[in-house]
Amino acid sequence: MVLDNVRSMNNIGSVFRTADAFRIEKIYLCGITATPPHRDIHKTALGAENSVDWEYMEETLDCVKHLRDEGYAVYSVEQAEGSEMLQDFKADGRKTAVVFGNEIDGVAQEVVDASDGCLEIPQYGTKHSLNVSVTAGIVMWDLFSKIKK
């Protein structure tokens, strides 16, 4: 998992906690995304910041390049032209990394452009937006359930 400039430490902590539940290999914290230890991250992570491996990288684009060099397929979770609906996504057998963006601006365009594609959660309400930690939970569950089949 990659967090691209996520502002809220509560969201970061929630992502850690959900990542622990699905045994996510690692979380990359990029840009302005805060890093543990911090009491506001711990408040929602409840210790998961200690059980999930993480690494800070200043530039999200460098992180995406690193992951692709390591053989990962990298998908940005973003509403974009050509996005694949999450329920239709089928992994191609490579390890998969997903990028989640800033609460206001989403995933940076340069990161979207460097990704193998975009995944989108279908939404039918009027807001067409979900909290980043909720989005991460939905995506983690979906990918986890597909891998375990």
Q: Which of 38, 42, 30 is nearest to 6 (CA)?
A: 30
The per-residue pLDDT for range 105-138, each reduced to its tens digit, is 999 999 999 999 999 999 999 988 899 999 999 9
Consecutive H or E run containing 51: helix 48-51
Give the range of the structural domain holding residue 25, as residue numbers without chain letter.
2-147
pLDDT of amino acid 148: 67
For the whole model, what pTM was predicted?
0.96
CATH code assigned at 46: 3.40.1280.10
Pick out the chain residues at pLDDT < 70.
148-149
Residue listed under structure tokens 């430490």: 9
Domain count, the chain: 1
